[in-house]
Amino acid sequence: TAGITQAPTSQILAAGRSMTLRCTQDMRHNAMYWYRQDLGLGLRLIHYSNTAGTTGKGEVPDGYSVSRANTDDFPLTLASAVPSQTSVYFCASSDSPGGTDGSGANVLTFGAGSRLTVL
Amino acid sequence: GQNIDQPTEMTATEGAIVQINCTYQTSGFNGLFWYQQHAGEAPTFLSYNVLDGLEEKGRFSSFLSRSKGYSYLLLKELQMKDSASYLCAVLDSNYQLIWGAGTKLIIKP
């Protein structure tokens, strides 16, 4: 089944340690995104990539970095984890970055999520 | 600042109709989305509105009034499987999605 694969599904991490969340899509979508979801808050964009080789900062980029070496992969790295980074992380992709495509909708496809706990 | 407001939680009865409201204040507008998210799962796309009016898709309909900064999602003939969170999101002038916190819908038999 085509879609987005995230790994790991869940992880407990000691504060100060580094961690990379992996995200791979097989839909050949141009744009990819990393969101975090916290109770009582909407999805918040961490970083995005409109096309391979480019990345941009979202609403809450501090403490996170990304790379987009090819179309399919978009890993998210926490260089030195802190407890406030405890969250559920979702990777998503879309065919067209930002604006609408010919059908009028820029629909996001999400991965299943990675639950990260930083102690 | 940009803001999306939705009720935190709603309860409805199986077989009934429920309307979930969303109001927004954003820097520009390029469309409004509704996503469904079951507990512990990823959000999935339900509907998209860019023009005023009602879009119907089976048991689900979505309405938009751009002048009022208002949308609603209408769910008819509710089923137990409709128990989920419903997320409203607006595409702003920079083509960035602004998300509401979501409405948790509880369906009772």
**Tens of pLDDT along A38-94?**
998 989 999 999 899 999 999 999 999 999 999 999 999 999 999 999 999 999 999
Q: How many helices (H) and strands (E) does chain B have?
A: 0, 11
pLDDT band at B94 (very low <50, low <70, confident <90, very high): confident
Q: What is the mean pLDDT of residues B5-32?
A: 96
Q: A81-97: per-residue pLDDT in tens? A: 999 999 999 999 998 76
In one-letter notation, the amino acid at residue A110 is F
Give the model's pLDDT for residue A102: 42
Of residues B66, B67, B72, the one with CA closest to residue B100: B72
Q: Chain A residues with CB inside 8 Å of B45's CB?
A: 105, 107-109
Chain segment B34-72, per-residue pLDDT in tens: 999 999 999 999 999 999 999 999 999 999 999 999 999
The CA distance from B22 to the nearest CA of chain A, in Å, is 13
The pLDDT of residue B43 = 95
Amino acid occupying residue B27: S
Question: Is a pLDDT exceeding 80 seen at residue A114?
Answer: yes
> CB of A34 within 8 Å of any CB in chain B?
no
CA atoms A104, B48, A93, A84: torsion sign: positive
pLDDT reported for residue B53: 96
Q: Does B42 touch chain A (CB under 8 A)?
A: yes
- Token pair recorded at residue A107: 């629909």
Question: What is the rounded distance in angstroms from the CA atom of residue A53 to the CA atom of residue A2?
Answer: 23
pLDDT at A99: 47
- B94 vs B74 pLDDT, higher one: B74
Tokens of B28: 């520009």
**Smallest Cα distance from B49 to chain A, Å:** 9
Residue A111, chain B, CB below 8 Å: the answer is: yes
pLDDT for A101:
47
pLDDT of residue A1: 61
Predicted confidence (pLDDT) at residue B2 exceeds the cutoff of 90: no
Q: Find the CB nearest A112 among B42, B91, B94.
A: B42
